[in-house]
């Protein structure tokens, strides 16, 4: 059973960089049949897709956040990470990591999610 | 970007009821629609894939329907354990987008 677990600071100051790591267990992050995603949900609002990374390191970012987002992958640790720069209070949210499926060159949706971690942006 | 309009935002049901949750896409997404169940403090669970296919392990009282722009998640003979937050996701185009979610309460 694949499990994903987010970790990182729960409090970040405005203008600083938010950094989170997702540790994958129960399966290898190196398999080419998956993409690895970050998603967030501000309190009382809907889910927002931040971006994804593939095992080869290629990334796709939501245009709404592209200028501030970096997603990276460390296959030796079975982890992938999110960095969001120049944060403001509007970046306060529960952040989720998740796995998506690629099969036959076709991109399917997400099959496994982490539990999520709350990150608050405040001085 | 595809906008998903999910309704209702909240619903209350009694054990044994049948409920429908709707998700409407702002453009044609074929059958690229998934549904998820999430309980407080837990990871979301994948319950319906490609609009109509039950993910292995999903109880058969759950079903999905729809194609193109209109999709529905149906729960028949509701049980108390079905109390949760449900949301839809489209993966037809990037970025993936989500419905606003439905909180289902069981009386």
Could you write out the DSSP letters of every residue in chain A?
A: --EEEEES-SEE-TTS-EEEEEEEESS-TT-TTEEEEEEEE-TTS--EEEEEEETTS-EEE-TTTGGGEEEEEETTTTEEEEEE-S--GGG-EEEEEEEEEEETTEEEEEEEE---EEEEE--
A59 Cβ contact partners less than 8 Å away, ≥ 6 residues apart: A51, A52, A53, A71
Mean pLDDT of chain B: 97
pLDDT of amino acid A106: 86
Q: pLDDT per residue over A70-102, tens digit each?
A: 999 999 999 999 999 999 999 999 999 999 999
Mean pLDDT of chain A: 95
pLDDT at B71 over 90: yes
A103 Ramachandran zone, left/alpha/beta (phi>0; psi -120 to 50): beta
- A104 burial class (0-12, 13-18, 19+ CB within 10 angstroms)? exposed
pLDDT (mean) for A28-53: 93
| Residues in A touching B90 (Cβ below 8 Å) | 109
| Residues in A touching B99 (Cβ below 8 Å) | 46
pLDDT of amino acid B47: 98
pLDDT (mean) for B85-99: 97
pLDDT of amino acid A9: 97
Minimum Cα–Cα distance from A109: chain B residue: B91
pLDDT at A8 over 90: yes
Interface touch A47/B101, C-beta < 8 Å: yes
pLDDT at A32 over 90: no
Is A8 an 8 Å CB contact of chain B?
Answer: no
């Amino acid at each position: 059973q694949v499990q994903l677990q987010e970790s990182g600071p729960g409090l970040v100051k405005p203008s600083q960089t938010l950094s989170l790591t997702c540790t994958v267990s129960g399966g290898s992050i190196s398999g080419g049949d998956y993409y690895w995603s970050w998603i967030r949900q501000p309190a009382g609002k809907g889910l927002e897709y931040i971006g994804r990374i593939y095992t080869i390191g290629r990334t796709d970012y939501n245009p709404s956040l592209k200028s501030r987002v970096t997603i990276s992958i460390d296959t030796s640790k079975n982890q992938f990470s999110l960095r969001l720069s120049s944060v403001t209070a509007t970046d306060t949210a529960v952040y989720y990591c998740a796995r998506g499926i690629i099969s036959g060159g076709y991109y399917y949706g997400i099959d496994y999610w982490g539990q999520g971690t709350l990150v608050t942006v405040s001085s | 970007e595809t906008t998903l309009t999910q309704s209702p935002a909240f619903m209350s049901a009694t054990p044994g009821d049948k409920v429908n949750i709707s998700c409407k896409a702002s453009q044609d997404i074929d059958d690229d629609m998934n549904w998820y169940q999430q309980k407080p403090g837990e990871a979301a669970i994948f319950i319906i894939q490609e609009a109509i296919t039950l993910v292995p392990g999903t109880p058969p009282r759950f079903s999905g329907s729809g194609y193109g722009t209109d999709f529905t998640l149906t729960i028949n003979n509701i049980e108390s354990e079905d109390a949760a937050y449900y949301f839809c996701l489209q993966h037809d185009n990037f970025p993936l987008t989500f419905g606003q979610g439905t909180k289902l309460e069981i009386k």
